[in-house]
């Protein structure tokens, strides 16, 4: 049995993904800052607030992350996106927090967030200006800005790609990586260069996560498209560095419950960052139940660190799967069609022996299926919905 178990894990990590050479090479380049051993979890201001952010929103979000229980299930980063700084640097060339919206400055805000047991993230750009064109970027000021962020107590940097002067991202992004490493403070490095020049193939040596896609939108077509784009880079994700199909839209109101559950389930299986993008201060109980589903989160945070991917497809009916620690398998039956449908996951598609007997745990119903299964699992799935399971092999 031990030999079979070892074979199963190896089959998933190497055989099923069919990218053994790329995987073995990339896994030698673990990030040196010790961060991102599992995908980052937290909140980001952009999807809901855009540029309309201030000190009170960030403090209130930190409060809500604790009071809602989200911090207890793993969410820890409170990340400020674009538009937080004045339009021009000061006389010494330093970035300056906007006095009208962050009058207490970033050090005081970081201290407040840290007092809640959380971490504070900030935003800059590998260009002359950020994407909003309301504040300077960090191109040419990498060392100075990294030292500034460290002095404020910043824990996370999202680094965008606008106004880059046509300079290759492979030239620009390593400079900030080195600057952060030399800043004297561990700072999670999240590259946001939209998948330009296939960062999954070179960013694992310099960053903790890298965008594989353009910006997400709160609509079904965006979710499905970004999932497919991110899927092709599955072999490159590992502890210390993750593929990033952009932040979560759950709770922003333009999709229904089934669609938001699918969004969250697929992001979790893909080991994508789980960065909430709604206003959690006023989030509905339904939204909190989705983003707070600890069983789904556990799949995302599993220490084996292998990204799940699409393993079979019949039209718009799909099976996604990935290996977990302790010889378990996570699967998602995803119905991307416009009608209810039956979807089957066959053991031969997900790396299990065809005659294996398993116990299945339904992660949204929070219960085990009543009978052991052999050969396959079939379930009826709502339109745009999903079913998510963990399969445990039973010894007989």
Where in the sequence numbering do the catalytic residues fall? 160, 215
Give the max Cα distance, the chain. 73
Q: Which long-range contacts (CB under 8 A, 24 or more apart) does 56-60 make?
A: 58/109, 58/113, 58/120, 59/109, 59/112, 59/113, 60/281
Rounded CA separation 126/124 (Å): 7
Strands 357-362 and 386-393: antiparallel
Of 160, 162, 154, 211, which Cα lies nearest the Cα of 188?
154
Distances (CA, A) of 228 to 19, 64, 190, 270, 327: 17, 33, 21, 11, 26
The CB density around residue 166, as the number of other CB atoms within 10 Å, is 4
CA–centroid distance for 383 within its chain: 25
Rounded CA separation 369/150 (Å): 49
Rounded CA separation 42/34 (Å): 18
* Residues in Cβ contact with 93 at an 8 Å cutoff, skipping those fewer than 6 apart: 141, 144
Rounded CA separation 242/115 (Å): 28
- Do residues 137 and 95 lie in contact, with contact meaning Cβ atoms separated by under 8 Å? no
Question: H or E element: which one contains 226?
Answer: helix 220-231
Of 307, 385, 297, which Cα lies nearest the Cα of 343?
385
Tokens describing residue 178: 């080195």
Q: Which residue has the tokens 């979790």?
A: 268
Rounded CA separation 299/281 (Å): 26
Radius of gyration of the chain (CA): 21
């Amino acid at each position: 049995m031990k030999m079979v178990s070892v074979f199963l894990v190896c089959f998933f990590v190497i055989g099923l993904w069919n990218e053994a050479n790329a995987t073995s090479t990339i896994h030698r380049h673990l990030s040196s800052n010790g961060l991102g051993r599992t995908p980052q979890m937290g909140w980001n201001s952009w999807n809901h607030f855009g540029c309309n952010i201030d000190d009170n929103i960030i403090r209130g979000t930190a409060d809500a992350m604790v009071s809602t229980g989200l911090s207890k299930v793993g969410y820890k980063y409170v990340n400020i996106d674009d538009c937080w700084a004045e339009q021009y640097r000061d006389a010494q060339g330093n970035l300056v927090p906007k006095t009208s919206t962050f009058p207490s400055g970033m050090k005081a805000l970081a201290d407040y967030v840290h007092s809640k047991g959380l971490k504070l993230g900030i935003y800059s750009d590998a260009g002359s200006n950020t994407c909003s064109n309301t504040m300077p970027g960090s191109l040419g000021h990498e060392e100075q800005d990294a030292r500034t962020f460290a002095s404020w107590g910043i824990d996370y940097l999202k680094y965008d790609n606008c106004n880059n002067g046509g300079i290759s991202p492979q030239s620009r992004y390593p400079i900030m990586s080195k600057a952060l490493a030399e800043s004297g403070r561990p700072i999670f490095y999240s590259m946001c260069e939209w998948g330009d020049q296939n960062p999954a193939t070179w960013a694992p040596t310099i960053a903790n996560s890298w965008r594989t896609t353009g910006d997400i939108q709160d609509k079904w077509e965006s979710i499905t498209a970004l999932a497919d784009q991110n899927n092709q880079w599955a072999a490159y994700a590992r502890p210390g560095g993750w593929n990033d199909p952009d932040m979560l839209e759950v709770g922003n109101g333009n999709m229904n419950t089934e669609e938001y559950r699918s969004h969250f389930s697929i992001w979790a299986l893909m080991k994508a960052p789980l960065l909430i993008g709604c206003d959690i201060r006023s989030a509905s109980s339904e939204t909190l139940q989705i983003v707070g589903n600890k069983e789904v989160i556990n799949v995302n945070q599993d220490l084996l660190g292998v990204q799940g991917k699409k393993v079979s497809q019949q039209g718009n009916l799909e099976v996604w799967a990935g290996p977990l620690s302790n010889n378990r398998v996570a699967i998602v039956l995803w119905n991307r069609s416009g009608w209810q449908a039956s979807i089957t996951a066959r053991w031969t598609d997900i790396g299990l022996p065809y005659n294996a007997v398993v116990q299945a745990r339904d992660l949204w119903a929070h219960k085990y299926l009543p009978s052991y299964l052999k050969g396959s699992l079939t379930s009826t799935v709502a339109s745009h919905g999903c079913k998510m399971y963990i399969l445990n092999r039973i010894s007989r």
